[in-house]
Chains A and B, each alone.
Chain A
Amino acid sequence: MEIPHEPTTSQGGPRLESLPGLIWRRLRRHRLALVSVFILAVLIIISFGVPLFVSEDDANRLNLRAKLEPPSLAHPFGTDDIGRDILLRTIFGGRVSLRIGLLAALLSMAIGVSIGALAGYRGGWLDNVLMRFTDALLSIPTLFILIVLAQVFGRSITIVTIVIGALSWMPVCRIVRANVLSLKEREFAMAARALGSRDSRILSRHIVPNTIAPVVVAATLGVGRAIIIEASLSFLGLGVQPPIATWGSMLNRAQGFLVTAPWVAFFPGILILVTVLCVNFIGDGLRDALDPYAQN
C-alpha cells in the first residue's frame, strides 16, 4: 500500500495547494487518463500542425493513376477512389472533426450553464418554462432534429457546430439547475445576499464556480458525443459539405469500396474510436480528480 505523503512547507505546516495543482496531481494517478491526454495532444498537434505546412489542396488533389491503392510507403493509409492520399485527408478531416467536437461542447456548456443557473436561481414560472422546454428537446431524438436543422440552415462547418452545440446542452442544464437549487440556500450565498451583492454577481462569483466540477466532466464527455454526432451526420452525407474532408464523410465515401478497398473505411473510423475513447477516459479521470469527497 502506498502511503500518501502530506505536502509540507519549510515551516512544516500543511501547505495550501492551488486547485489546478490539486486536480493535476490527482489526474496524474489516473494512468489511462494520462495516456489519453498524451494521445489526444498528439492527435491535436498533428491535425492542426500539419495543415500549417501542407495546403488543403494537396489533401483534395486527385491522382487518377493511383486509385484505391493499398497502404504503402508513399501512401501509409492508402488512397481513395479518386487517388487522394487517405493519410492527408484523415489529418485534415481530424482538424474539422476535432474543432467541431471541441467548439460544440464548449457552446453546449455555455448554454447549459446559463439556462440551468437562471432556471435554478430564479425558480417559479421561469424555471417551469425553461425546464419544460429542456424536457421537450430531450424528447426529440437527437439525430432526427439535427438532420432537419442542418438541412434547413445549411451545412457549413460553423452551422454544423452551432446546431450540435445548441442541441446538446440539456444534460449540463439539468446538472447545473439541480446544484444551483441547493447552493442558493446555503450560508455563503445568503451571506453574499445579505452583503447586498447583485444576483448576477452572486451567481457568477459564488454559485456557478461551486457547480463547475460536474459541468467540466459532462462537457468533456460531450466532446466525444459531439464528434460522434458530427461523424454520423457526415456519414449520412448530410453534414459538412464536400470536398471538405471529415472522418464521417470519408467513411460515407468508403461504403462503395468495402469489397475492393476495405482500408478506405478502416483508418478514419479507428481515429474516431481512439479520439472518443481518449476523451471518455479523460472525462472519467476528471470525475475522480474533481470529486470533493475523494480521499487524497
Chain B
Amino acid sequence: MSSYVVRRLFQAVPLLLIITFIAFGIIQSTGDPLAAYTVEASLTSDDIARLRAYYGLDRPLPLQYLSWLKNMLTGNWGTSYYTRENVVDMVLNRLPNTLLLVAVSYALTLSVAVIVGIATAVRQYSLFDHLVTGLTFIGIAIPNFWLGLMLIIVFSVQFKGAGLPYFPVGGMYDHRVGPSFGQFLWHVILPAATLSFVMTAQYIRYIRSSVIEQVHLDYVRTARSKGLTEIVVLGRHVFKNALLPLITLIALDVPNILSGTIVIESIFAWPGMGRLFWSAAERTDIPVLMATLVFVSTVTVMSNMLADLLYAVVDPRIRYT
C-alpha cells in the first residue's frame, strides 16, 4: 500500500511539470512584458536593456522557464500588475471563501442526490421517477449562470416584491450586520444551489442506475431473505456498494466545480478565488491569472490522487502492490 502511495505521488510530478510548462508557454505568448515601456519616451533603450537584464528577460527560454519554475516552487509568484500585492497572498486570502462555497455545494449535491437517487431507483418507472429523470435532463443542459439569474429573479426580486422573505443577491454577509454563521448560511444558499444544480442532476442519474444495478445482485437477495428490513438492505448493503465509485466522481468533478465558481462568484459577488480570477482577466493581470491557473490545476491533480488513494483504502477488494 505504501509503495502504491509513493508511486502515485511520483506520477503526479510529471503531470504538474507539464501543467507548469503549458502555463509558461501561455505567458510567453502574451508578448514582451516590456512592450509598453518601449513607447514611453522617458525610458531610453539603455534603460530597457537594463530592465531586461534585471528581470532576466535576456536569457534563453529554457533558463527563463527554470527560474520561473524555481520562483513558483519557492512561493515567489510575483505581484499583481494592478494592486502590487503579492499574488500568493491574494489567492490565499480568497481561497477560504471559495472552499466554503464549494463545500456547501458538495454537501447540498450529495444529500439531495443520494436521497433522490435511491428513491427513484426503488420506485423505478413511477411518476416520481419520470419526473426526476426529466428534471435531470434539464439540469444537465441548463447553463449555470442563467439558472443563477432566474433564481435571483424569482427568490430575490419577485419574493421581495411580494413582501415575502427574500434571499440576498450578493456578498457573504450583510455589511450592516457583520459576519456571522447565520448571515453566511442566508447568503450561501442561492450561489450554492446554482453551483450544485448541474452536479446534482448528474449524480442522481448515476446513483439511480448504480442502485438499480445492485438491487438485482445475489447479496441483496441474501440480505432480504434473512429478514432484514428494506431500510437496512438499502441503507447498509446497497448504499455502500453503489456509492463507492462516487469518490471518483466527486474527484473528477473538482475541475468543473472550480470552473463553476468563476461564473457563480461573479454573479453573486462572492468574494472568492473565482471572482478574483475574473476581475484579473478583465484587466489582463497576467501574474494573478497564471498563479490561479497553476493553483487550481494543482488542486485538481491532488484531488484526483487523493481519490485514488481513498478508493484503495475504503474498497477492500482493491489490492495495490
Contact = CB atoms under 8 A, between A and B. Distances in A.
Interface of A: 132-133, 135-145, 147-149, 151-153, 224, 228, 231-232, 235-238, 248, 251, 254-255, 258-259, 262, 265-266, 268-269, 272-273, 276-277, 280-281
B277 interface: yes
Given A148-B289, A231-B143, 16 more contacts: A140-B19, A140-B255, A140-B300, A141-B296, A141-B297, A142-B259, A143-B259, A145-B26, A148-B281, A148-B293, A235-B263, A258-B157, A268-B146, A269-B143, A280-B137, A280-B141
Contact of B304 (A132, A139, A149, A152): A139
Range of interface residues on B (Cβ < 8 Å)? 35 or more
A139 B277 CA distance: 18
B18 A228 contact: no
B277 A147 contact: yes
B15 A132 contact: yes
Contact of A273 (B143, B149, B267): B143
Nearest to A264: B149
B296 A149 contact: no
Contact of A139 (B156, B266, B278, B300): B300
A295 to B, nearest CB: 20
- From A235, A237, A266, residue with most partner B Cβ within 10 Å: A235
A71 to B, nearest CB: 15
B273 to A, nearest CB: 10
- From A136, A142, A232, residue with most partner B Cβ within 10 Å: A136
5 contacts: A135-B15, A144-B296, A144-B297, A265-B153, A269-B149
B140 interface: yes
Q: Name B's interface SS.
A: helix
A282 to B, nearest CB: 12
Contact of B293 (A133, A144, A235): A144
Interface of B: 14-15, 18-19, 22, 26, 29-30, 137-138, 140-146, 149-150, 152-153, 156-157, 255-256, 258-260, 262-263, 266-267, 277-278, 281-282, 284, 289-290, 292-293, 296-297, 300-301, 304
Nearest to B304: A139
Given A132-B18, A151-B284, A280-B137, A144 B277 contact: yes
A140 to B, nearest CB: 5
B141 A152 contact: no
A238 B128 CA distance: 40
